[in-house]
Amino acid sequence: MTREAREALLSVEGLGIAFGGLKAVNDVSFTVRPGEIVSVIGPNGAGKTTLFNMISGVYLPGMGKVKLMGEEVTAMAPHLLARRGMSRTFQNLQIFQSMTVLENAVTGYHLTERGPVLADLLGLPSSRRRARASEEGARRLLARVGLERAAEREAGNLSYGSLKRLEIARALALNPKILLLDEPAAGCNAVETEEIDHLIAEVAASGVAILLVEHDMKMVMRVSNHIVVLDHGEKIAEGDPATVSRNPAVIAAYLGAENADG
Amino acid sequence: MKLSAKTATLLVLALLVAVSPFFFPSGYYYRVGALIFVNGIAVTGIVILTGYAGQISLGHAGFAGIGAYACALAPVHLGLHPALAVVLGGAISAVLAFLVGRPILRLKGYYLGVATLGFGILVSMVLNNERELTRGPDGIEVPELGLRGVLKDWGLDLTNGEFWYFFCGLALILGAWLALNLYGSPTGRALRALHGSEVAARTVGVDVARMKLQAFVISAVYASVSGSLLALQNKFITPDVAGFMHSIEMVTMAVLGGVGSVLGAIFGAGILTLLPQVLTVFAEYEQLVLGLVMMVVMIFLREGLLPSILRRLRGTGE
């Protein structure tokens, strides 16, 4: 089946934003389908994270639309996007430092475990049941990302690579339809990167759409079904890994214009 | 068997309430104890707001004032039983906290501090100036709760001091129990999550504005009940209960003891309530000492006294 034949889960249409006259992202469009891994690549400052922040409701886009399962969700508050099945991780880790690893993962179950505040205050059985169910789920997820033995440790004490995986576990706890991963392998060693690789492929295989921003080109080429290339906030190329890696504009952007000319 | 932190905290509190009277040099200390418990209740509310949710309020005495004056006014003007006046005060505080908190909690850091400060001053001004109703700065008498008489009929004859000591002690244990239930519950986790990172809390679906508001309302009810109990045991109340110094006292007690821990904050309430009683000179320099305590704790013991001490004892000190 061709890519276009399937219904898009996420479509980004002409998205753009300017910071004080500087167009950080300009008129970017692409789609992500269920079970597909789409990567956004580009040199530093190309606007990848800005794009992510617009899609996930952190920034208000200056132009364009974001659609989730056909419905417009442009500039929707992040907690409402979460309810619609969007989940994300952050480039510069957003971990709850003073919580344990387990509790960090459990927060990902907020939407399924939340209930009346009065029941929580009184410690009613219903409240304890909700809390216990999400703890069990979180333990399974920690096992899946290889952190089960660190469950009771304070998250702030974990290594960078472990925290990256913890963030993925927390994002998966939402049982998302689309998962946005912002440089999941940054700061990880080769072994950890490979583990994250497998994890991403596994999650995608279960039907989740994945949008990835990543600097590790080998990883991007390995895992992606489809690649969107940004440079100076504009989309300069798009296609499968092989096509994109041969694209002259992409090579120029990465190596610098002089090298491409010469 | 390892005790959960919740059970351990409640046991320690219950033991303290039950055993302390054996060491009291005089009946006067029942009153001091009751004051500690009353402050402990307000401070437990601060733990929920500041320790769990990471929001600061410099106007919580305003809610204490509402709770106190509800007990002074509702029995007289509405014919309510004083016990129901406590409930009414709590309800008014909750509604006010809801209305005031919605716009205020959008603010962050010191803006939030200043806005809540404004609220506290507003309540204090109303209590001072509405002389027709509140009799102004001179204060107003508060009707008897009447529970002591009921207990006496049942054969439990307590002195006034003893009654308020145990009554407030029980109220504090109840308040601590609720706060500890909240800590590990889904709501408590969401509050602590938004404290850690609002951005991350949002992405896991936490409605940050709503959760902050819940914490604000709950802590306002704590302050209100604390004010009510103070008014009822003193049988007299002045607008000072809603004053700025009282708000600062609450926060200082919590921060001194450890705002992240219920037991720590109550410990802080104990120290700062006891100090002026033990050192009478302290009374004249109260504001000075409060400021000094706040500075020293912020610089040297960021977590607060009790958590820092426990860390040392466990040998995991920095």
pLDDT at A111 over 90: yes
In a 10 Å sphere around its CB, with 0-12 CB exposed, 13-18 middle and 19+ buried, how is residue A261 labelled? exposed
pLDDT surpasses 80 at A182: yes
| Residue-level pLDDT at B293 | 77
Residue among B188, B196, B197 whose CB faces A120 most closely: B188
| A98 vs B contacts (CB less than 8 Å) | 192, 196, 260
Q: Which of A73, A117, A132, A177 to mutate to test the interface with B (most CBs of B within 10 A)?
A: A117
Average pLDDT of the residues of chain A = 89
Terminal CA-to-CA distance of chain A, rounded, Å?
40
CB atoms within 10 A of CB B18: 11
CA A49, CA A92: separation in Å to the nearest integer?
Answer: 10
Q: What are phi and psi of A37, to 5 degrees?
A: -110, 110
Whole-number pLDDT of residue B63: 97
Please report residues of A whose CB lies closer than 8 A to that of B191.
none
The two three-digit tokens of residue B43, written as one number: 């401070």
Structural domains of chain A, ranges and CATH numbers in brackets: 10-261 (3.40.50.300)
> What's the pTM value of the predicted model, to 2 decimals?
0.89
- Report the share of chain A in percent with pLDDT over 70: 95
What whole-number distance in Å separates Cα of residue B66 and Cα of residue B90? 8
**A131 vs B184, B200, B202: nearest CB:** B184
Q: List pLDDT tens digits, range B128-184.
A: 988 888 898 888 888 888 888 788 888 787 888 899 999 999 999 999 999 999 999
A132 CB within 8 Å of a chain B CB: no
Please answer whether residues B199 and A94 qualify as being in contact, where contact means their C-beta atoms are separated by less than 8 angstroms.
yes
* B99-129 pLDDT tens trace: 998 888 877 767 888 889 999 999 999 999 8
ipTM of the complex: 0.87
User: Across residues A180-207, what is the average pLDDT?
Assistant: 89
Token output for A227 = 């690649």
**Which residues from chain B sit within 8 angstroms of residue A117, using beta carbons?**
187, 214, 218
- Find, in chain A, the residue whose alpha carbon is nearest to that of B182: A121
Per the model's pLDDT, the better-predicted residue between B220 and A160 turns out to be: B220
Given this model, what pLDDT does residue A260 score?
A: 40
Sequence-distant (6+) residues with CB within 8 A of A59 are: A17, A50, A53
- Residue A2 confidence class, pLDDT cut points 50, 70, 90: low
Cβ proximity of A189 and A161 under 8 Å: yes
Distance from CA of A107 to the nearest CA of B (A): 7
E-state strands within B69-177: 140-141
Higher per-residue confidence, B236 vs A252: B236
The answer to whether the CB atoms of A110 and B205 lie below 8 A apart is yes
Question: How far apart, in whole angstroms, are the C-alpha atoms of residue B54 and residue B216?
Answer: 11
Q: Are B293 and B257 contacting, i.e. CB atoms less than 8 angstroms apart?
A: no
Q: Please give the torsion angle defined by the CA atoms of residues B211, A210, A27 and A249, in that order, rounded to the nearest 10 degrees.
A: 150
Identify from B183, B198, B204, B303 which residue to disrupt to test chain A contact, counting A C-beta atoms within 10 A and taking the largest count: B204
pLDDT of residue A262: 35
B41 burial class (0-12, 13-18, 19+ CB within 10 angstroms)? buried
- In tens digits, what is the pLDDT along chain B, a chain of 318 residues? 566 888 999 999 999 999 998 888 888 889 999 999 999 999 999 999 999 999 989 999 999 999 999 999 988 889 889 999 999 999 999 999 999 988 888 777 678 888 899 999 999 999 998 888 889 888 888 888 888 878 888 878 788 889 999 999 999 999 999 999 999 999 999 999 999 999 999 999 999 999 999 999 999 999 999 999 999 999 999 999 999 989 988 998 998 888 888 999 999 999 888 887 776 766 677 778 777 877 887 788 777 778 877 777 776 533
Per-residue pLDDT reduced to its tens digit, A217-234: 888 988 999 999 999 888
pLDDT value at position B147?
Answer: 82
Distance CA A144, CA B243 (A): 54
Query: Which residues, in sequence order, are bridge partners of residue A180?
Result: A88, A211
Higher pLDDT, B307 or A36: A36
**Secondary structure of B277-318 as H, E, C letters:** HHCHHHHHHHHHHHHHHHHHHHHHCCCCHHHHHHHHHHCCCC
**Mean pLDDT for the stretch of residues A68-88:** 93
CA distance A112 to chain B (A): 9
Residues 6+ apart with CB under 8 A from B77: none
What 3-state DSSP class applies to B10?
Answer: helix
pLDDT higher at A121 or B153: A121
pLDDT digits (tens, 9 = 90+) for A41-71: 988 888 889 999 999 998 999 999 999 998 9
The band of A5, judged by pLDDT with boundaries at 50, 70 and 90, is low
